[in-house]
Amino acid sequence: SQTIHQWPATLVQPVGSPLSLECTVEGTSNPNLYWYRQAAGRGLQLLFYSVGIGQISSEVPQNLSASRPQDRQFILSSKKLLLSDSGFYLCAWSARSYGSVNEQFFGPGTRLTVL
């Protein structure tokens, strides 16, 4: 069966510090991968998505970046965090099967607080 791992679960970082959040998927190959951010009590904002190794689509201008060094690994990074980067970061994957159900499976999330 497929599993998605995301860590850490919570993170408190000072303004200006770097960030690295990692997401890995097991039990599937060639998945679509997604990074979303959710502000408290708000909806999900799509940050990045990837349909293959090295293929990253950025959806909003920001000081965040994403990389996909391996098929089932998706990393979210920042060189210098801003207060506005606080939020709940969710990684998700879906199977590459156009014409079929593209259910997204979400990881447990990382709650990031920037002070």
Partner 1 sequence: GQQVMQIPQYQHVQEGEDFTTYCNSSTTLSNIQWYKQRPGGHPVFLIQLVKSGEVKKQKRLTFQFGEAKKNSSLHITATQTTDVGTYFCAGEIPSGTYKYIFGTGTRLKVLA
| Interface positions with partner 1 (CB under 8 A) | 32, 34, 36, 41-46, 49, 51, 57, 59, 90, 94, 96, 98, 101-109
User: Do the beta carbons of residue 115 and residue 84 sit within 8 Å?
Assistant: no
Question: CB of residue 74 vs partner 1: minimum separation in angstroms?
Answer: 14
Nearer to partner 1, 46 or 53 (CB): 46
C-alpha to C-alpha distances, 16 to 35, 62, 87, nearest whole angstrom: 21, 14, 16
Nearer to partner 1, 16 or 27 (CB): 27
Question: CB of residue 104 vs partner 1: minimum separation in angstroms?
Answer: 6
User: Do the beta carbons of residue 106 and residue 90 sit within 8 Å?
Assistant: yes
Nearer to partner 1, 49 or 74 (CB): 49
Phi/psi for 85 (5° steps) reads: -80, -10
Question: CB of residue 95 vs partner 1: minimum separation in angstroms?
Answer: 10
Neighbours of 85 (CB within 10 A): 19
Pairing of strands 55-58, 64-70: unpaired
Question: CB of residue 79 vs partner 1: minimum separation in angstroms?
Answer: 26
Nearer to partner 1, 14 or 54 (CB): 54
